[in-house]
Structure 1
Amino acid sequence: MTDKNPLSVAIVGGGIAGVTLTIALLQKCPHMQVTLYESASAFGEIGAGVGFQPVMVRTMNLIDPRIGAAFDKCSKGNDDVYDPPLWFRMRVGDERKEDVKLGEQIFELPARKGPRGGVHRAHFLDELVKLVPEGVAQFKKKLVDVAEGEDDDVLLKFADGSTARHSVVLGCDGIKSRTRPIVLKGDSEAAKAVFSGKYAYLVAFSSKPTWGDPNWVVSTSREDMLEDYKHWSPAVRAIMDSLQKPDIWALFNHPPAPTYYTTKPLICLVGDAAHASTPHQGAGAGMCIEDAYILSELLSQCHTKSDLQKAFYAYDAVRRPRTQKLVKTSREAGMLWDFEGEGIGDDLEALEKNATTRMSWIWDHEILGDLAMAKDMMAEA
């Protein structure tokens, strides 16, 4: 591509991943034209809170310090209460564990020092979209298909009958992604999310083997909800009893994808579209931030479609192992917290040993090392 015909990027999906990547590309890739397509009539997030540990907050600032400032504005943490910082305090909540007193503390899970905390998804997104200039985003654009166009461009087709032509598509369209099955054509098992065996009321988790309802969020009665927690402590039951109109949120995750990109048409998956996980390790949104950082840095070096393919190759090689490990270990953590961990069950000593070490690979990661590796791979491709 030349300056007269710059690379044109379509970002599909206006959640945290899509908006963060848009900000990153506008900052790092002034030689590219960037358009964000969102299916809704305005930006908006569903769900409650998401947490970010120091490694993820540092990555926000590497992308653009304004993203870090947006996080700081929304963040709620406990670092001013606990020193050293505390992630969780684990207590026995179920009276069926007869050899331990109900409510007794089992152990504490320390956090890492540094900027960290939780944000409400919608509030954080509200701050991020302030960093997207007017005219970059187009709304009411529900993606139907992506096909190869003329001159190796990609052709996006939307539900309203309109089309758009771009050099490349970056799929940030979440766990119910339309771009994912296009990338994984022929691999129907990996194309769609599967039920994790867990469901939640707010962030109180329970289990069932299958999920038969086509909807992932369903209403339930207070009586059925309280039945799920009849063996729990009075404090827990009092919290659950305060919910007047409870909903059940089924927790899904993606099976491992064999690739995060395809060249015909040229599409790359980012965030939950690539690796949606359960929330049991509190790192899914942070992985989206890491994706945006690595990919935007690689794309900053791209000036041709051949360059794009090399960038996607390097991004896939570096990001896929880490993010798919998160999906796998988050599902395992959901079992662990419910005394269902393989070889651990309700052995509290084994549970503590596992829990106090399992987050290190997420929290102590060196993202700059990943970037250096990815740049080397791109140069050698």
Structure 2
Amino acid sequence: MTRAPGMSARLRLALSYAGFVVVAGALLMATVWVFLLRYVPEVIVSYPLGPPGQPGLFIPDRADLLAAFAPRAAVVLLLLLGFGLLGGWFLAGRMLAPLTRITHATRVAAGGSLAHRIRLAGRADEFRELADAFDSMLAQLEANAAEQQRFAANASHELRTPLAISRTLLDVARTDPDHDPRELVARLHAVNERAIHLTESLLLLSRGDRGAFARGPVDLSLLAEDAVETLLPLAEQRGVGLTVTASPAPTSGSADLLTQVVVNLVQNSVVHNLPAGGRAAVRTGTEGATTVLAVENTGPVLPADLVPTLVEPFRRGTERTRSDEHAGVGLGLAIVHSIVRAHDGTLDLAPLRAGGLRVEVRLPGGSAVRGTRSPGRRVGG
């Protein structure tokens, strides 16, 4: 919607300054009139003080003083008006100069250049605070845009891989009439399952980022016990000792999304473990007004600079291989981080000195949930 051009802020400020100066001058002159001129008599009788026939001493009355004062007062008011306009225009320009730079930076950012910064110098005032906040916003937007570009590129690559494999399998089957169709169907089914899993993971990640879910009472201890019981066969297959210490851990949120958090963390602790004799432990509980879910496992020693990047989409640890059917697509911890952040919680990752990783989820506490099992119950061995 196009608006009609109006008076600029600089002109309005200049007029305000000029009006203030003129009003101040008028009040000063009114003060002179009230406290000086009103004590002068309206008519003064002149008495001859000199020799006869000579004019007497002239003593001006109120009308004489007013006639001499009024024109000069009007000239002074006009000069004050001109001085106020010029001075106000100059001062308003100096005051609004930072706003002009901020406006220019806004237009540059709107044009797609998020790398531009204002970097306003000078003393810390309201304009400096606004400029610094705008620079921080641009930095955050630039980081988010870069992250979205990386995410889109990685997602495109991941989605293209199963499609390329499917096309290769079909090309081979078309050129080789003696190829066993059952093997082709089995391999296409596996590739299709992977593509479906990736698509569902992307949708789940988007859902967590938007925060589009209904909240209700949830007990993480129930979710942890169910996840451990479900993944216990996988842990036994890999020779990983999986245990859970489930104390009541009430919070508020989406049961489906928080279930995905627990399942992803427990599955990661089993899959990314030692080749044999590994351990994984899950613990739930409360610390004050905070609900805590902690998952700890053995594994290779992780570099400290690698751990913070594990929550990035499509980021895999050093020991993750694409040949493993449980290796995933590198969205597990990214999904966890997104869902935890949408629930106003925090996700902390800490490498263990002996190897492995400790993941701790902290969520705002909630009211107790009916059906909570006995405190400290252990599952697994």
TM-score (norm. length: structure 2)? 0.19
Q: Which has the higher contact order (CA 8 A, sep 6+)?
A: 1
Comparing both structures, which one devotes a greater share of its residues to helix? 2
Computing the radius of gyration from Cα coordinates, the structure with the larger value is: 2
Comparing both structures, which one devotes a greater share of its residues to strand? 1
